[in-house]
Amino acid sequence: MTDTTNTARDYCRNIGRELDALDFILAHSGRDLDDVPAEAYAEAINELETDADLNACEIVAQYLNETALEMKILRTDDNQRTRVEILRKCGGPHCEITRDSNDGYIVAVTTYNGHDQATIRNSYRELANYLDEIAQ
């Protein structure tokens, strides 16, 4: 594999870890922190380089404000289906995060580096629900 392919793939995996952290924090939102595995919560906060005193919605908003260059929300005429496209601006190759409401709980991350690209598609139940709410 070429270095550019490795760069696109590695960056895609890094963004995937950030989305893992966002989904974890959203999943534990509103719970007493005594019920949340402290080490896992600390790892999620560390992955996102954010403040543990923020609530889950503030953490997601901060993440989007600091990393998203553009966010598009597309709807069908009957508002039954939505699509959220987030273009990242933060370092590294060009990156798109996509959520389609017709795609279960899947959120896709695609990175481009030169002519190479990498895509991961993972199920992020809480993050998908959050993005669907934004789209409404």
Show the tokens assigned to 130: 């959050």
**Cα separation, 70 vs 85, whole angstroms:** 8
The secondary structure of 81-133, three-state, reads: CEEEEEEECCCCCEEEEEEECCCCCEEEEEEEECCEEEEEEEECHHHHHHHHH
Residues 43-53 have pLDDT tens digits of: 999 999 998 88
Model pTM above 0.75: yes
Residues 17-76 have pLDDT tens digits of: 999 999 999 998 876 666 777 888 889 999 999 988 888 889 999 998 888 888 888 888
65, 24, 131, 30: CA torsion to nearest 10: -90
